[in-house]
């Protein structure tokens, strides 16, 4: 399990999240949804070591890991992507993936082999030698996922991977996320505004608003929750 328990984060007196708990099980796909500013990325930052909580705890497989650094957590299976992929623009796709491995201690030869293995898995080997600055938006996001997969995640945290994608691309991404869960055996936390993608992909949803959790359950259960409908969809929406 990857779990945050009663986590709060404050910035200059502003409560970004307050008493938020998240539990992600192996092989589970959890959708984390809510309006902009709800605190979704903040809780992912806490889970992945990019933000220390002001209160609360984080556990990985039963062990306390609150305050552990992002690189330690990545080496121990907690890997995330970002809303802004921020590739090394002058490096090739393969080199961008290699960089994530080398930064955690892998040798160049091993990193190169792993990069090509992941590119083959994602079906984008033909893009291996393309520089980052030449990629379109969709390919950038695929490379961001490739960098994460190269680290053999036990828990994969995806921050708005479908942003800017059309319907067909989002459907393909949904299939890929489920395939990753099955092939890697990892738990997946998916932050996303695309509700069709969430309902198609996730077994469970957690809804945040104003820094707090307001609803949890299966997609069907959450969509019938009046608190969710009022806060996120607007009262009476479906």
Q: Number of helices (H) and strands (E), helices first, in the chain?
A: 9, 10
3-state secondary structure of 30: strand
| Predicted local confidence at residue 106, as pLDDT | 87
Compute the C-alpha angle 91/96/99, nearest 5°.
110
Cα 47 off chain centre by: 10
3-state secondary structure of 215: strand
3-state secondary structure of 45: helix
| Predicted local confidence at residue 237, as pLDDT | 47
Gap between the Cα atoms of 144 and 55, Å rounded = 30
CATH 3.40.50.300 matches 2-86+155-233: yes
Taking only the tens of pLDDT, the chain with its 238 residues reads: 999 999 999 988 788 999 999 999 999 999 999 988 899 999 999 999 999 999 999 999 999 999 999 999 999 999 999 988 888 999 999 999 999 899 888 899 999 999 999 999 999 999 999 999 998 888 888 899 999 999 999 999 999 998 888 899 899 999 999 999 999 999 999 999 899 999 999 999 999 999 999 999 999 999 898 888 887 666 544 4
| Predicted local confidence at residue 52, as pLDDT | 94
**What are the angstrom distances between the C-alpha of 166 and each of 80, 137, 171, 180?**
23, 11, 9, 21
């Amino acid at each position: 399990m990857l779990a945050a328990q009663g986590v709060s984060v404050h910035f200059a007196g502003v409560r970004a999240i307050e008493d938020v708990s998240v539990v992600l099980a192996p092989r589970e796909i959890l959708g984390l949804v809510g309006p902009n500013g709800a605190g979704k990325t903040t809780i992912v930052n806490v889970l992945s070591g990019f933000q220390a909580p002001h209160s609360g705890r984080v556990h990985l497989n039963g062990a306390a890991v609150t305050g552990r650094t992002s690189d330690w957590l990545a080496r121990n299976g907690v890997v995330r992507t970002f809303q802004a992929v921020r590739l090394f623009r002058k490096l090739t796709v393969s080199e961008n993936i290699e960089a994530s491995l080398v930064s955690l201690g892998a040798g160049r030869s091993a990193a190169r082999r792993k990069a090509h293995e992941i590119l083959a898995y994602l079906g984008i080997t033909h893009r291996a030698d393309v520089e980052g600055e030449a990629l379109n938006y969709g390919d950038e996001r695929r490379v961001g996922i490739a960098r994460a997969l190269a680290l053999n995640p036990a828990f994969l945290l995806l921050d708005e991977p479908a942003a800017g994608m059309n319907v067909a691309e989002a459907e393909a991404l949904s299939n890929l996320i489920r395939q990753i869960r099955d092939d890697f055996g990892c738990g997946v936390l998916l932050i996303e505004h695309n509700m069709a993608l969430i309902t198609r992909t996730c077994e469970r949803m957690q809804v945040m608003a104003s820094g707090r959790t307001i609803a949890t359950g299966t997609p069907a259960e959450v969509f019938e929750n009046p608190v969710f409908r009022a806060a996120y969809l607007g009262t009476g929406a479906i």
